[in-house]
Amino acid sequence: MMEDGLVSPRTEGTPQGGPFSRSSVTFCSTKGRELARRGHRFVRYADDGNVYVRSKAAGERVLASLDRWLWQRLRLRMNRDKSGVARPWSRKFSATV
């Protein structure tokens, strides 16, 4: 990992493009179809994703559902510091749809 121009060993997470990043493909193909079936819009970039819903309450429900699904299916914990429910323009996210 490189931070401030210095290389240091990784202490958590997985490298982008590494073999474990296939879990994001599993997420997108499986959970992405489920989100689309429910009428939600979903965009991902590498291992990050945005789900677009109609209300804050729906956003809270979807966030909790995704967190449960990630743990039950993949034994992954959502980064709650980087995750949240907000208007799209108030979140930082780069993606190509």
For the segment 50-92, what is each residue's pLDDT rounded down to a tens digit? 888 889 999 899 889 888 988 888 787 888 888 888 888 887 7
pLDDT at residue 57 in the model? 93
Predicted confidence (pLDDT) at residue 9 exceeds the cutoff of 50: yes
Nearest in space to 62 (alpha carbons), one of 50, 73, 74: 50
Segment 28-43 shows an average pLDDT of 78
CA quadruple 88, 92, 67, 87: dihedral, nearest 10? -20
pLDDT at residue 28 in the model? 64
Distance CA 82, CA 87 (A): 14
Give the whole-number percent of the chain exceeding pLDDT 70. 69
